[in-house]
Structure 1
Amino acid sequence: MNRRLLNHLNDLAVPLGLVVILGILAAIRAPQTFTYVGLAGAVLVAAPLILAAMAITPIAIAGRGGVDLSIGPMIGFVNVTIVVWLGGLEISNPVAVFAFAIGMACLWQLLLALIIIYVRISPIIASLAGYMILQGVNLVILPRPGGFAPDWLGDWGWGTELLGPVLYILIAACVLWYLFQTTPMFQHIRLMGADERTAYTSGVNIVAARIMAHLVAGVFAGLAALCLTGMIGSGDPSQGNTLTLQAITALVLGGTSLSGGRGGVTGSILGAIAMYLVFVVLSSFNFGAISGYMIQLSYGLMLVISLLISLLTSQAKPRMA
């Protein structure tokens, strides 16, 4: 048990250290971030990324090199359908909107899982196809940014209260993950990700485990879409696309192995916070017209470095053993 805890802490050392360093830099360059209003705004802006990183974590743990490339457009799909479809039907009841967002995200993840299981194609190919399909579908539903979110959801976008709905959603998501990882199904998913053949011969229901990993991802993705809709207060067919690269970077930075069997949402959350702090620090510099490109460049470099660190640590552990 102690060795397991030590390995977990070692996996979190890189993202935690990066969060501390970037937090110090942000405090120096943008001290307003750590005021009450600044923290409230930070929670609002970072929430969609944190939840998106949490969403792809169980899929990555499930193995087969699975990383959901469609996560960004799928969050965008839920966003535009809330604004266009529910708005057109004048459905604004919070329970109905929450149920719709989570239900649509779970339905998409179930479809992906069934394709991976029964069509027997690589998860990364299936999700890449989903990425391209949803990009087009989002533009068909809403060709350009517009529309209005339900009033109660749009009010989240003010971001002036730290103890608000977005923070409560993040806390609820963490509690949900804690409860999920105490179940036998989570252990089956982890075992399947480490060695699917061994898991099968040990009696693990491979089909159920993979479907459950995707359904849990759907719940977090639906919450991410709600937070994104609340943040922008409208529909945007392309707003979610950038979340894919950021969420994958946060995932890898947090120590989750893309080969499966290792990782957790604590690292993914720390990775997402580090990504947000990179944005804060870089935004404090004046790069002129190339400011957006510098941020994307930093995200790309962080992804490459994270993959290298993950590769080196995975090779070092067998030697130490």
Structure 2
Amino acid sequence: MLFIISLISGILMPRFTKLLPSSLLLAMPVAYLALGESFALISGEVDLASGSVLILVNAVAASIYTDYNITGPLFVLIPIAVGIFTGITHGILISYGRLNSFLLTVGTSFMWSGLALVILREPRGSIPVWFSNIFASNFGGIPIALWALFLACGIWLAFYYSPLSLTFYAVGSATRTAYTLGIDVKRMKLYAFILNGFVAGLAGLIMTGIVGSGDPRLGATSTLVAILAALVGGASFSGGSGNGLGAIAAAIGLQFARNLVAWVGVTYYLLDLIYGAIIVILMALISFGRSKIAV
């Protein structure tokens, strides 16, 4: 899908190759959220608050620098810690509190976005110059967007080739069987949400670097797009399946598709309509293909 969209974009829009790094960078926050959703979906759960976590991390990052002049490593570590905290909160309440992940994260999505509004109240703030420069620079001749992509892929590969991956898939595909095999199901689900929170924290930092300030209105639809990308990448709501690399590629493809629709010259009030139609057709084709494979 990503290759086809990129090819079409290159043919229809000669400027596409020049705009590729910036388009790729814009796709990275949702790509990271999609990676996090893959961890949750593989374990048999779902997170409907990842976009709100992104907003909260962005608000915290802007606030700690603007209001408290915190910079250096702490500027990076504190927002990531916020993301991990949300993951721990979700994991404990779902795993040990036995709350439904769908219903819980719907509720916490309002909590995290509301907390972001309490922190910022309105779009404001700034970020350290050194952090902003990172997102306007190339390292070793490679755009920062590609480095962000390499990091996301590296996180998935480190997980996939670790002992955790097998237990995650086992827990998601057959929870009772996992119990009988001696797998600590509750702990694995907790780990899944911690990983989810960690990459959501990274997504929030990347978004902060892109926009250069704090905005509690960011990421309104990012949760749904991230879940969609994870599903396109091979995950399912039933658990036990998913591929982080596929989710990342799907998120990038969806961003490129939106850019393509805009670049063709579609008026802004038709943009969401056409983009939504593309998503519906895409999901129909994927469902049809999977049903054929199942047969």
- In structure 2, the partner of 1:108 is 86
**Take 1:282 and 1:91, find their aligned partners in 2: how far apart are those partners?**
40
Partner of 1:266: 245
Letter in structure 1 aligned against 2:129: D
1:297 correspondence with 2:239: no
Counterpart in 1 of 2:101?
A: 123
Could you tell me how far apart the structure 2 residues matched to 1:108 and 1:58 are? 15
Counterpart CA distance in 2 for 1:279 and 1:261 is: 30
Contact 1:78 1:101 in 2 (8 A): yes
In structure 1, the residue matched to 2:112 is 134
Percent identity, aligned pairs only, is 28
Q: What residue is the counterpart of 1:225 in the other structure? A: 204
Contact (CA 8 Å) 2:28, 2:149: kept in 1 or not?
Answer: yes
SS across alignment from 1:79: helix
Matched to 1:174, the amino acid is C
Query: Within the alignment, does 1:33 sit opposite 2:10 as a pair?
Result: no
**Residue deviations 1:22-41 (CA, integer Å, cap 9, x gap):** 11221122221213xx2321
Deviates more, 1:169-178 or 1:154-163: 154-163
Pairing 1:6-85 to 2, within 5 Å after superposition: 18-35=1-18, 38-63=19-44, 66-85=45-64
Could you tell me how far apart the structure 1 residues matched to 2:93 and 2:47 are? 13
Q: CA deviation at 1:98?
A: 2.1
The 2-side partners of 1:243 and 1:125 are apart by 18
The 2-side partners of 1:176 and 1:84 are apart by 28
TM-score, length basis structure 2: 0.91
Deviation at residue 144 of structure 1 after TM alignment: 1.8
Corresponding position of 1:143: 121
Q: Is the 8 A contact 1:253 1:303 kept in 2?
A: no
The CA deviation at 1:286 is 2.5
Structure 1 residues 207 and 89: CA distance shift in structure 2, 3 A: same
Aligned-pair RMSD on alpha carbons? 2.1
What is the distance in 2 between the residues matched to 1:68 and 1:253? 16
What residue ranges of structure 2 are gaps of 5+ in the alignment? none
Distance in structure 1 (CA, Å) of the matches to 2:143 and 2:9: 23
CA distance, structure 2, for counterparts of residue 44 and residue 318 of structure 1: 36
8 Å CA contact retained: 1:156, 1:166: no
Structure 2 counterpart of 1:269, which letter?
Answer: I
Number of aligned residue pairs: 294
The alignment status of 1:202 with 2:202, answered yes or no, reads no
Q: SS of 1:252's equivalent? A: helix
- Identify if the C-alpha distance between structure 1 residues 301 and 192 changes in structure 2 by more than 3 Å, giving closer, same or farther: farther
Instruction: Tell me if structure 2 keeps the 8 A contact 1:253–1:267.
Output: yes
The residue aligned with 2:192 is 213
Q: CA deviation at 1:78?
A: 0.4
CA distance in 1, matches of 2:243, 2:179: 22
Q: Deviations over 1:213-255 (max 9, x none)?
A: 1111122111111110000000010112221121112111212
Q: Cα offset for 1:197?
A: 0.8
Q: Which runs of 5+ in 1 are unaligned?
A: 1-17
SS in 1 for 2:96: helix
In 1: Cα distance, 2:86 partner to 2:191 partner = 13
| Superposed displacement of residue 75, structure 1 | 0.6
Tell me what 1:3 maps to: none
